[in-house]
Structure 1
Amino acid sequence: MSKYLLNKFLYTVDRDPELVERYREDPVGTVAWWEAEQANRILNCVGGESSTWLRFDDTERDALSTHDYPRLFELGAHPFLTLTLFIGLFERDHEPMGFQTEYARRLAHFTLPYPDIAT
């Protein structure tokens, strides 16, 4: 499991409106494409620099592919990254502040200490 890779996915997708829409409409395809094409690119680096070893495990891939943000939180994805991306994905389907309320409700079963978000 790589909390770094989960957070990198959330961070990079959230910063590209086209990727947000792609992830909303085709989460399985977007996760597969991102893992194959983007996961090993080094953040904030000139093209051509990459690693070769980063990949999601089945649990991470499944949670991302099904928009399962409570599971992502449980896996240690950073809650601010998760919340901002999922607001972009689903806020339009709710009344004002409705998605944030739904997010809080679905994560309400977590108690302190929260899952470790250190990468």
Structure 2
Amino acid sequence: MSKYLLDKFLFTVDRDPELTERYREDPVGTVRWWEAEMANTLLNSTAAEKTTWLAFSDEERRALTEQDHVTLFAMGAHPFLTLTLFIAMFERDHGPMEYQLAYARAMDHVTMPYPDIST
């Protein structure tokens, strides 16, 4: 499992409005494409620089395709990254602050110590 790769996915998808919409509409296809095309590129680098070993675990892939922020947090994904991305994807479907409150309620069962979110 790679917290770095989870956070990289959340970070890069959140910063591209077209990719955010793609992930909202087709999470399975977006995760599959991103893992094949983007996972091994280096952040803030030229496309020519790549690694060859990064891949999601089956559990990570499932949580991403199901857009399951609670499981992603339990795996160590940074909560600010899931919150900002998921607000961009789902807030429009709810009234003011409804999505944020639902997000928080889904995390009510989480107690300290929280999962380590350092990368």
- What TM bracket, shorter-length normalisation? over 0.9
Counterparts of 2:90 and 2:108 in 1: how far apart (Å)?
A: 19
TM-score for both structures, normalised by structure 1:
0.99
1:117 aligns with 2:114: no
Aligned length: 119
**1:14-63 per-position Cα deviation (integer Å, ceiling 9, x unaligned):** 00000000000000000000000000000001220010000000000000
1:21 aligns with 2:4: no
Q: What is the match of residue 41 of structure 1?
A: 41
Query: 1:83 aligns to what?
Result: 83
State the secondary structure of the residue aligned to 2:109: coil
Q: Could you tell me how far apart the structure 2 residues matched to 1:10 and 1:47 are? A: 19
Q: Which amino acid aligns with 2:89?
A: L
Q: Output the TM-score relative to the length of structure 2.
A: 0.99
- Code of the residue aligned with 1:35 in structure 2: it is E
* Secondary structure at the counterpart of residue 55 of structure 1: coil
Unpaired runs of 5+ in structure 1?
A: none
| Equivalence for 1:53 | 53
1:7 aligns with 7
Letter in 2 for 1:17: P
C-alpha RMSD over aligned residues: 0.5
* CA–CA distance in structure 2, aligned partners of residues 25 and 39 of structure 1: 20
How many percent of aligned residue pairs carry the same amino acid?
Answer: 68
Q: How far, CA to CA, are the matches of 2:46 and 2:26 in structure 1?
A: 28
Is residue 2:97 matched to residue 1:94?
Answer: no
2:98 and 2:19 mapped to 1: Cα distance? 23
Shift of 1:118: 1.1
Tell me the secondary structure at the aligned position of residue 52 of structure 2.
coil
